[in-house]
Amino acid sequence: MIFVTGGAGFIGSNFVLQWCAQNDEPLLNLDALTYAGNLANLRALASNDQHRFIHGNICDAELLTQLFNEHKPRAVVHFAAESHVDRSISSPEAFVQTNVLGTFRLLEAARSHWQNLPEDKKAEFRFLHVSTDEVYGTLTQNDPAFTESTPYAPNSPYSASKAASDHLVRSYFHTYGMPVLTTNCSNNYGPYHFPEKLIPLMIVNALAGKALPVYGDGQQIRDWLYVEDHCSGIRRVLEAGTCGETYNIGGWNEKANIDIVHTLCTLLDELAPPSDRGVINQQTGQPVKQYAELITYVTDRPGHDRRYAIDARKIERELGWKPAETFETGIRKTVDWYLNNQEWVRNVMDGSYRDWVAKHYESGNK
């Protein structure tokens, strides 16, 4: 059995679904079901005995010990994290609690479990920590992409908390010899992405005739990775990665935020024409002819990193992994998924979410 934390969130649920579709090894899934954790993501596994879900928090040391003792997993894949930069700016303490203290308590429970395993099982055990490229800081237009040896320089409470967790994981390898692996990924996109992040927010707002809020000048550059590619990369690292090593997982797709927004508008014009849907611009009250009419520039957020880029040559060279999707194929699949899963979207669009978006974006419109 493998033990997954945060398996009801965006990346975690995609990993769980992919795992259960591709092999029959049991999977234990622990998730606190905070605002971004959604059991509806895992509805397809409702009657699948391979998947066992536990509602709980990685900060709960007693629960963790109980789960390791009862299920004796051969591996941990650690997704559970607070992950939204804007939320970390307004409420940083939750990020320290989950990302730092939670990771520490998970490491301690895993170490106790690992140290008591028979020697053959001890050698096979793995602890895979899923992290982000944001720990490396920001790049200028001409800087080379982040490699696994790039010095850490986090610029937000979120990225600082993830950097701290990365260092904790590394220390357990060097201090205790615990067989750990770390992956640092670029920006993910795809199905089940909570509509506070750029791509799903733009899709949801466009279909509702709401403003498409773009921070600053929209020239912030990110490397975009389709979530199912990310999950396959994690599976490959878990299978064959060298203990103590870090592997960058990227999509080789550097795009400016404003270009992403225009791409989404063009795809939506094709796949869900606003005239066919009767979309009304909620700011002007007029029918929307093209979704790009809704683009609205808003005040940039504090400490907004200008560019991220992942050099993913190490994982390709050493483990033979590279992404299967181009940005063009992945983004079309993503838009199709949101158009075909409007019930899922409606179910996550509760009042507290709308209030949060209004607070952080709509009041900043220029």
Q: Which CA distances in Å does 238 have to 92, 141, 233, 244, 273?
A: 31, 33, 9, 12, 43
Six-digit token string for 307: 């560019």
DSSP string of 67-134, one letter each residue: HHHHH--SEEEE------HHHHHH-HHHHIIIIIIIHHHHHHHHHHHHHTS-HHHHHH-EEEEEEEGG
| Cα torsion angle, 179, 159, 61, 79, sign | negative
Tell me the two tokens of residue 361: 């974006």
Contacts for 285 with CB less than 8 Å, ≥ 6 apart? none
> Residue 159 is inside which H or E element, if any?
helix 157-176
3-state DSSP call for residue 53?
A: strand
Q: Which position among 158, 172, 192, 308 bears the catalytic label? A: 158
Has 158 been annotated as catalytic?
Answer: yes
- Active-site pick, 82, 86, 134, 254: 134
Which residues are CB-contacts of 196 (< 8 A; sequence separation ≥ 6)? 36, 84, 86, 87, 353, 356, 357
Active-site residue 134, yes or no?
A: yes
Query: Which residue's entry shows tokens 């993830």?
Result: 162
What is the identity of the amino acid at 143? D
- If phi > 0 it is left, if psi is from -120 to 50 it is alpha, else beta; for residue 31 that is beta
β-pairing verdict for 75-78 and 187-189: unpaired
Please say whether the beta carbons of 292 and 209 come within 8 A.
no
Amino acid at 290: Q
From the list 31, 82, 86, 133, the catalytic residue is 133
Query: Active-site residue 25, yes or no?
Result: no
What is the Cα–Cα distance from 246 to 259, expressed in whole angstroms?
31
Catalytic residues: 133-134, 158
